[in-house]
Amino acid sequence: MSIHISAEKGQIADKILLPGDPLRAKFIAENFLEDSVCFNEIRNMFGYTGTYKGHKVSVMGTGMGMPSIHIYARELIVDYGVKKLIRVGTAGAIDPDVHVRDLVLAQAAATNSNMIRNDFPEFDFPQIADFELLDKAYHIAKKYGMTTHVGNVLSTDVFYSNKPERAMELGKLGVKAIEMEAAALYYLATQHKVQALGIMTISDNLNDSSEDTSAEERQTTFTDMMKVGLETLIAND
């Protein structure tokens, strides 16, 4: 067991989906995995392992924000040997050409967090996705006819910003969406030489709030990213 995960060695697959919402992890396990078994309930951060098309796959919630995903993803990598990690979460569109329910594949993640700056104060160290996972996810999404955008996202430390217009300026520069976890996940993957990717469903449009979705919709209806994530994890296994 690690500090925050109660699984025994071997209970977690070497490939995993990481939704922020633990109830989305439960939904994925119940609707996509066969013979799923819960390996973690500590702090109600549910984690499950089962099979998808005959491949052993895990899914676990990470909570909201970079400190939270950093804790869980690091323990999964260091203590349980996970090699492929795909975030399947929600994001808010800031690019005018990105709309609710579109998929965004985070090729890179800009951030206002000090998590990386604390280690490298003299550099703007870019956080990038694993290209192999990104390439596979893009072609899988296009095969299924899903509206998919590839590009930069902003991983922010603040959900309720006092200066939202600053993020909107990035949208004008082609940043697709704003979210809260990808940069930390990518930094961990770089440090530990594992593969990571962020696949986000747009749940809110900061340019047009009339498109926004409900909490229940976010939990149970964003199945496109779940399917793409799972197919990407098992591709060429």
Which residues contact residue 123 at a Cβ distance below 8 angstroms, ignoring those fewer than 6 apart?
none
Beta partners for 148? 103
Is residue 210 annotated as involved in ligand binding? no
The DSSP output letter for 23 is: H
**Residue type at 156?**
T
Is residue 132 annotated as involved in ligand binding? no
Is residue 203 annotated as involved in ligand binding? yes
**Half-sphere exposure of residue 207: CA atoms within 13 angstroms, side-chain side:** 17
Q: Is 119 a catalytic residue?
A: no
- Measured CA to CA, the distance from residue 196 to residue 183 in angstroms comes to 10
Instruction: Say which of 35, 204, 212, 237 is annotated catalytic.
Output: 204
Among residues 88, 106, 99, which one has the least CA distance to residue 175? 106
Tokens of 96: 């005018």
Is residue 57 annotated as involved in ligand binding? no
Among residues 21, 180, 217, which one has the least CA distance to residue 92? 180
Is residue 24 annotated as involved in ligand binding? yes
Is residue 217 annotated as involved in ligand binding? no
Is residue 218 annotated as involved in ligand binding? no
Is residue 204 annotated as involved in ligand binding? yes
- Measured CA to CA, the distance from residue 127 to residue 231 in angstroms comes to 24
Is residue 89 annotated as involved in ligand binding? yes
Asked if residue 151 lies in contact with residue 175, where contact means CB atoms within 8 angstroms, the answer is yes
Is residue 101 annotated as involved in ligand binding? no
Asked if residue 172 lies in contact with residue 211, where contact means CB atoms within 8 angstroms, the answer is no
Is residue 88 annotated as involved in ligand binding? yes
Q: Could you tell me which residues are annotated as the binding site for a purine D-ribonucleoside?
A: 4, 179-181, 203-204
Q: Could you tell me which residues are annotated as the binding site?
A: 4, 20, 24, 43, 87-90, 179-181, 203-204
Q: Could you tell me which residues are annotated as the binding site for phosphate?
A: 20, 24, 43, 87-90
Active site residues: 204
